[in-house]
Amino acid sequence: MRSLTLRLALPFCAIVIGAIALVYLAVAPSLESSLRDQRLDTLARSAERFSPPLRRALDASQSAGAIDGRVRRAADASGARVTLLAVTPTDRGARLDVRSDSTAEVDISDLQFAVADRAVRSGRITRGTEAGNTGRVAEAAIPLRITPARSQRAGIFYVAVFSQPLEDVNSGVSLIRRRILFAGVIALALAILAGVLVARSLSRRVGRMEDAARRVAQGDYTARFDVSARDELGRLARTLDGMQRQLAELETARSRFIATASHELRTPIFSIGGFLELLEDEELDEETRVMFIRQVREQVDRLGRLATDLLDLSRLEAGSLELRPERTDLREIARAVAAEFAPALAAHDSHLELRLAQGGTEADCDPERVAQIMRILIDNALSHTPAGTDVVVAAGRRDGRVRLSVTDYGTGIKRAAMSRIFEPFYTSDDAQGSGLGLAIAHELAERMEGELLADSVPGRTTFSLELPA
C-alpha cells in the first residue's frame, strides 16, 4: 500500500465493484419485482375489461359450448390464458372445479388457483403468483356471481382467472443480470487500466518533483519544477519553485554576507596585527607609540561595534529578537538620545537641533528599539558628513502616523546608491563603518509595523521613522 499506483488503482476498482454489486443485488431484484407487478396490473385490468361477457353468459345459462367460446374470445382479446372456475361450498370450504379453459384443458393439476379462493372470500379482484409445471405464473382472479333470479341454484359463484407465465420476465431479468456482469467486468478492466495509467502519470510527476526537491536539498538551486499544469500538483510545483527561488536568494545572500563579514572582520584584525608589530619596535618614540595605541583602540572599538551589529542582525533574521511594545512619547526618546551624543557632536564640531511638536507624538512601540534606531541614524549622520555639519532631530504627526526624523546638511547620498542604502554591509562612501546600521534600523522599523524612509538631495539628507499612532 506504499505505492501511489496501487493506492489510486484500488479505490477505482472498489468503486466499480461496489457499483456493480449495487446494480446486481439491488437494482435487478427491484426491476424484477416491478416487471412482475406490472404484469399483474395488466392481468387485473384485462380481467375487469373482458370478464363482463362471461358474467352475462353465465347469467343467461348459456350452453357449455357458448361459454367455452366466450372464454376463448376473452383469452384472444387479453393475450392471457383464461380459466373459468366453478365454486362449490363444502364443509371444508369452497371447492374449485374447472368449468372452461382457453387452452381446452379442464384437468389442470399443476395449478391450485389460490388467488381464486381469495377472490371468492374477498369478493373483489385478487392478484398473485404460483408455480406451475412450466415455471412461475402470474394470475388475476375476478369473482363472477350468478344472479339468483336466473339460476336454479342461488348463490353459485364462478371465478375467472386470467394468467400469464412469468418466464419471459425472469428471462429478461436474467439477461439483464448477465449483461450487468459483462458490462461490470469491462468497466472493472477499464477502471483498473485508467487507475494504473493515472496513478503512473501522477507517480512520474511526483517523482520528478521529488528529484528536483532532492537536488535543491543538496544545494543545487538550478533544479526547476514543472509549473505548467493547472491542477493540485501544478500548484504544489509552483509553491516548491517559489521556495527554491527563495532558498537560492537566501543562499546568495548568505554567501555574500559571509564574504562581506569576513572582509569587514579581516580589515581591523590585520590593522591591529600590524600596529602590534610596530609597537614591538623598541626605537619608537612615545608620541608615535601613543598614536599606534589609539589606532589599536579604534580598531578594537570597530570590531566591538561590528560584532554587536552582526549579533543584532542575526537575531533579527532568525526572528529571535523580542519586542516589548508600550505606549511611548517619541519626544522623550529624541531628547534622551540627543543628550547621549553631546560628546560626539562636540568632537565633530556640530550642533544638533531638536524640533519637537507640542503633542500627538505617542505611539505603540518598543522604546528601546526606537532609541536604537535613533542612535543609528544620528551616528550615521555624523559619520558620513564633514565636520561642522548641523543635525536636526524632529518629532511630529502626519497622516495619522507618528514621525521621527533625523536630517543632516551634508553632501547627500548619490542617486545610484539610494536603492541599496538599507542592504547589509553597503556603504555609500569611504567612511568608517560596518554598513549594518541602516539595515538593522530598517528591519527594526518593519518589526514594529513601521517604516524607515530616506530622502536625499545635495546639501540635505533625511531619514524618517514612521510608526502607527
User: Which among 71-80, 164-173, 210-219, 255-264 has the top mean pLDDT?
Assistant: 71-80
Q: How many residues make up the chain in this entry?
A: 469
Is 112 a residue whose pLDDT tops 50?
yes
Do 310 and 331 sit in the same domain of this protein? no
Nearest to 105 by CA among 145, 132, 141, 144: 132
- Write the CATH number for 284: 1.10.287.130
- Write the CATH number for 331: 3.30.565.10
Q: How far apart are CA 152 and CA 88, in angstroms?
A: 14
For residue 258, being part of any structural domain is answered with yes
Is 185 a residue whose pLDDT tops 70?
yes
Percent of the chain's residues with pLDDT above 70:
87
For residue 2, being part of any structural domain is answered with no
Q: Do 387 and 350 touch, CB atoms closer than 8 A?
A: yes
Q: Work out the widest C-alpha separation in the chain, in whole angstroms.
A: 166
Is 149 a residue whose pLDDT tops 60?
no
Is 195 a residue whose pLDDT tops 90?
no
pLDDT given for residue 152 in this prediction: 44
pLDDT given for residue 160 in this prediction: 92
Do 307 and 336 sit in the same domain of this protein? no
**Which residues span the domain enclosing 407?**
324-468
Task: Give the number of other CB atoms < 10 A from CB of residue 362.
Answer: 16
**Total domains, the chain:** 3
For residue 286, being part of any structural domain is answered with yes
For residue 11, being part of any structural domain is answered with no
User: Which among 2-6, 149-153, 258-262, 287-291 has the top mean pLDDT?
Assistant: 287-291
Chain segment 73-87, per-residue pLDDT in tens? 999 999 999 999 888
Do 359 and 459 sit in the same domain of this protein? yes
pLDDT given for residue 128 in this prediction: 92
Sheet holding 352-356, edge to edge: 352-356, 391-398, 401-408, 460-468, 451-457
Q: Does residue 137 or residue 27 have the better pLDDT?
A: 137
Percent of the chain's residues with pLDDT above 90:
17
pLDDT given for residue 229 in this prediction: 78
Least confident of 39-53, 56-70, 289-303, 409-423: 289-303
Residue 361 Cα distances to 207, 356, 455, angstroms: 58, 9, 21
For residue 6, being part of any structural domain is answered with no
pLDDT given for residue 138 in this prediction: 92
Do 440 and 339 sit in the same domain of this protein? yes
Task: Give the number of other CB atoms < 10 A from CB of residue 385.
Answer: 21
Q: Which of 120, 135, 165 is at the close of a domain?
A: 165
Rounded to an integer, the average pLDDT of 85-105 is 81
Tell me the β-bridge partners of 69: none
Is 406 a residue whose pLDDT tops 90?
yes
Is 444 a residue whose pLDDT tops 80?
yes
Rounded to an integer, the average pLDDT of 260-265 is 64
For residue 34, being part of any structural domain is answered with no
pLDDT given for residue 151 in this prediction: 44
Nearest to 58 by CA among 145, 117, 142, 141: 145
Q: How confident is the model at residue 150 (pLDDT cuts 50, 70, 90)?
A: very low
pLDDT given for residue 400 in this prediction: 81
Do 328 and 462 sit in the same domain of this protein? yes
Is 314 a residue whose pLDDT tops 70?
no
Is 140 a residue whose pLDDT tops 90?
yes
Q: How far apart are CA 116 and CA 132, in angstroms?
A: 15
Do 337 and 458 sit in the same domain of this protein? yes
For residue 183, being part of any structural domain is answered with no
Rounded to an integer, the average pLDDT of 142-153 is 62
pLDDT given for residue 285 in this prediction: 78
Do 290 and 375 sit in the same domain of this protein? no
User: Which among 176-180, 195-199, 444-448 has the top mean pLDDT?
Assistant: 444-448
Least confident of 33-37, 127-131, 299-303, 402-406: 299-303
Rounded to an integer, the average pLDDT of 271-280 is 78
pLDDT given for residue 411 in this prediction: 86
Rounded to an integer, the average pLDDT of 185-208 is 80
Q: Which of 270, 299, 317 is at the close of a domain?
A: 317
Nearest to 188 by CA among 180, 177, 200, 178: 180
Do 377 and 280 sit in the same domain of this protein? no
Q: Which of 165, 182, 204 is at the close of a domain?
A: 165
Do 67 and 111 sit in the same domain of this protein? yes
Do 330 and 459 sit in the same domain of this protein? yes
The mean pLDDT of the chain is 81
Q: Which residues contact 162 (CB under 8 A, 6 or more apart)?
A: 43, 44, 46, 47, 50, 74, 78, 80, 81, 82, 139, 140, 141, 142
pLDDT given for residue 352 in this prediction: 92
Sign of CA dihedral 381, 383, 385, 387: positive
pLDDT given for residue 433 in this prediction: 52
Do 261 and 293 sit in the same domain of this protein? yes
- Alpha-helical segments (H) within 23-122: 28-50, 52-59, 64-78, 114-122
Do 307 and 388 sit in the same domain of this protein? no
Is 320 a residue whose pLDDT tops 90?
no
User: Which among 13-27, 165-179, 232-246, 372-386 has the top mean pLDDT?
Assistant: 372-386
Is 419 a residue whose pLDDT tops 90?
no
pLDDT given for residue 261 in this prediction: 66
For residue 7, being part of any structural domain is answered with no
